[in-house]
């Protein structure tokens, strides 16, 4: 079968409803040529001298070592693949975008549910972010001025704790020719929007959850109990998110404010070993280099990916169960949120009950008050033995095994510019690692998905696929960073 290559081939007739032929978004070609991240060099340079043996350099090295301990910084292993010298990786020439664009104003929430959510059809919505302050102010320069001193998560260490960099250092890293523009798979900010942190509070004011995604049933479990579910995402060219399915069978929306993202989506049921073949590094750049070309070969045995080039102002809807990998084509800034709604409640409930019993008990109590119709769904699943526990939701509700998992974490943070700490909180005196490999585990009350997020380079975000959620849950309350993409 296919072995390797670089991305950027033309999709074929298997790609659903090709709608718009993309031109090469990098025609102006900055990232591929190692140009600093677009459009903000003035502010970034003013903030930091990104060269020499500066403290900036030390902080970046430290963050890199923590976020990807398998790569030696000093031996140049962050650029061992030479992806930065392979401009085809960032080219969209010949790609056929396979998703329809629908203007948000032409769709009610109910129409969205009927046309896209219930049939689990991905779509790109336009116009959703037009009125957001984020559309105007989430530029590198502006964010630098406002939040340059704040630390953002750029990865997790081997114990699952957040690795953070100040935004001013991250932006210097993103633009300095010897840093991100040279790295195979650069560090990526994937930061849970935590209202207990300064940057979380600030950024949360800059956007509104669009009405079609507003149902957000997990809020009934309580902000403290529910897993992290919304993230600020910023990354330079070639950073991204490796192939995964979002956790707990949630669906997601991802609104892009700056730059361009390349997506590859596979429908639910696509075999994991096809889309995540063993031996391929868990980085988006590696996936698009080594796996994507195979998906275009005549003997590819699975469905072809849907290619999408998401541009600024576009919001992609990723329904529950879809595999997706995402690579940034230039410096991107986005916000993404995972959610449960009436449309995906049944699978989310199954995964949550199995993987997060304490949360599901609390959630069920609230659903009983506010959504008895969904409790009937949960009971039906239990009666059919489909909630994986075999116990009825009626009987489980009283036991509320949901005791503690107290979020021990108040938000004091260890104070260094590049550090590792549990999400939202203080690193416990004795760190405890949640189960799972490579730091992939779900924190007790933590991440939607937790822990590892080598899924996207460095970033700590949503998490991975169809792993029995029970394997993700950690007991106790000293928790590693909550990530969106965990390892499987």
Residues near ligand AKG, by CB under 6 A: 233, 240-241, 246, 252, 254, 261, 324, 326, 334, 336, 456, 461-462, 484
CA dihedral 419, 424, 427, 428 (to 10 degrees): -170
Is 483 in contact with 161 (CB distance < 8 Å)? no
Nearer to ligand AKG, 62 or 276 (CB): 276
Close Cβ partners of 70 (under 8 Å, ≥ 6 residues apart): none
Q: How far is the CB of 432 from ligand AKG (least distance, A)?
A: 26
What is the rounded CA–CA span in Å between residue 378 and residue 392?
Answer: 8
Give the end-to-end CA distance of the chain in Å, rounded to a whole number. 25
Q: How far is the CB of 263 from ligand AKG (least distance, A)?
A: 8
**DSSP letters spanning 297-319:** STT--SPPPEEEEE-TTEEEEE-
What is the rounded CA–CA span in Å between residue 321 and residue 246?
Answer: 7
Q: How far is the CB of 461 from ligand AKG (least distance, A)?
A: 6
Is 88 in contact with 19 (CB distance < 8 Å)? no
DSSP 427: P
Nearer to ligand AKG, 44 or 333 (CB): 333
Nearer to ligand AKG, 336 or 478 (CB): 336
Nearer to ligand AKG, 143 or 374 (CB): 143
Nearer to ligand AKG, 180 or 367 (CB): 180
Nearer to ligand AKG, 78 or 263 (CB): 263
Q: Kindly calculate the radius of gyration of the chain based on its CA atoms and give it in whole angstroms.
A: 21
- The token duo for 427 is 């690193």
- The token duo for 445 is 């009350």
What is the rounded CA–CA span in Å between residue 433 and residue 292?
Answer: 34
Q: How far is the CB of 328 from ligand AKG (least distance, A)?
A: 7
What is the rounded CA–CA span in Å between residue 146 and residue 140?
Answer: 10
Q: How far is the CB of 316 from ligand AKG (least distance, A)?
A: 9
Q: How far is the CB of 193 from ligand AKG (least distance, A)?
A: 13
Nearer to ligand AKG, 284 or 374 (CB): 284
Q: How far is the CB of 442 from ligand AKG (least distance, A)?
A: 15
Q: What are the beta bridge partners of residue 308?
A: 263
Q: How far is the CB of 54 from ligand AKG (least distance, A)?
A: 29
Nearer to ligand AKG, 239 or 396 (CB): 239
CA 248 to chain centroid: 14
Q: How far is the CB of 82 from ligand AKG (least distance, A)?
A: 22
What is the rounded CA–CA span in Å between residue 322 and residue 454?
Answer: 19
Q: How far is the CB of 188 from ligand AKG (least distance, A)?
A: 7
Nearer to ligand AKG, 254 or 389 (CB): 254
DSSP H/E element including 232: strand 230-235
Length of the chain: 488
- The token duo for 152 is 């953002």
Instruction: Decide: residue 317, CB within 10 A, 0-12 exposed, 13-18 middle, 19+ buried.
Output: buried
CA distances from 411 to 79, 408, 417, 441 (A): 35, 9, 16, 21
Nearer to ligand AKG, 102 or 326 (CB): 326
């Amino acid at each position: 079968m296919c072995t390797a290559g670089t991305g950027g081939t033309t999709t074929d007739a298997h790609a659903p409803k090709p709608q718009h032929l993309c031109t090469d978004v990098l025609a102006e070609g900055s990232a591929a040529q190692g140009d600093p991240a677009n459009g903000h060099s003035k502010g970034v340079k003013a903030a930091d001298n990104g060269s020499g043996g500066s403290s900036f350099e030390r902080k970046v090295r430290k963050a890199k070592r923590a976020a990807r301990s398998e790569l030696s910084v000093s031996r140049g292993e962050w650029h061992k693949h030479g992806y930065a010298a392979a401009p085809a990786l960032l080219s969209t020439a010949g790609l056929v975008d396979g998703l329809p664009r629908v203007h948000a104003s032409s769709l009610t929430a109910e129409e969205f549910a009927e046309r896209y959510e219930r049939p689990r059809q991905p779509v790109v919505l336009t116009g959703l972010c037009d009125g957001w302050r984020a559309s105007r102010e989430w530029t590198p320069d502006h964010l630098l001025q406002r939040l340059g001193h704040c630390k953002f998560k750029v990865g997790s260490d081997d114990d699952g704790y957040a690795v953070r960099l100040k935004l001013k250092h991250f932006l210097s890293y993103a633009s300095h020719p010897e840093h991100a523009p040279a790295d195979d798979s650069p560090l990526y900010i994937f930061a849970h929007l935590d209202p207990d942190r300064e940057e979380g509070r600030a950024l949360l004011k800059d956007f509104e959850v669009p009405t079609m995604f507003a149902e957000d049933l997990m809020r009934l479990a309580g902000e403290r109990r529910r897993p992290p579910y919304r993230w600020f995402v910023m990354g330079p060219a070639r950073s991204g998110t490796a192939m995964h399915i979002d956790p707990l069978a949630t669906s997601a929306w991802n609104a892009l404010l700056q730059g361009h993202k390349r997506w590859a989506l596979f429908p639910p049921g696509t075999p994991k070993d096809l889309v995540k073949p063993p031996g391929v590094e868990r980085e988006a750049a590696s996936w698009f280099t080594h796996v994507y070309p195979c998906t275009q070969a005549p003997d590819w045995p699975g469905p072809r990916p849907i290619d999408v080039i998401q541009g600024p102002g576009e919001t992609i809807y990723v329904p529950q169960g879809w595999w997706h990998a995402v690579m940034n084509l230039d410096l991107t800034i986005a916000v993404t949120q995972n959610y449960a709604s009436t449309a995906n409640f049944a699978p989310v409930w199954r995964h949550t009950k199995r993987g997060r019993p304490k949360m599901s008990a609390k959630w069920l109590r609230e659903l009983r008050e506010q959504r008895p119709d969904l409790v009937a769904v949960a009971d039906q699943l239990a009666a059919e033995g489909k909630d994986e526990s075999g116990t009825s939701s009626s009987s489980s509700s009283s036991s509320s095994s949901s005791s503690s998992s107290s979020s021990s974490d108040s938000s004091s943070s260890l104070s260094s510019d590049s550090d590792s700490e549990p999400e939202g909180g203080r690193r416990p005196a004795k760190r405890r690692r949640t189960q799972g490999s490579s730091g992939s585990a779900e924190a007790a009350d933590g991440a939607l998905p937790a822990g590892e997020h080598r899924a996207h380079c460095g970033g700590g975000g949503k998490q991975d696929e169809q792993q029995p959620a029970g394997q993700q849950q950690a007991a106790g309350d000293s928790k590693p960073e909550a990530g969106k993409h965990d390892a499987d």
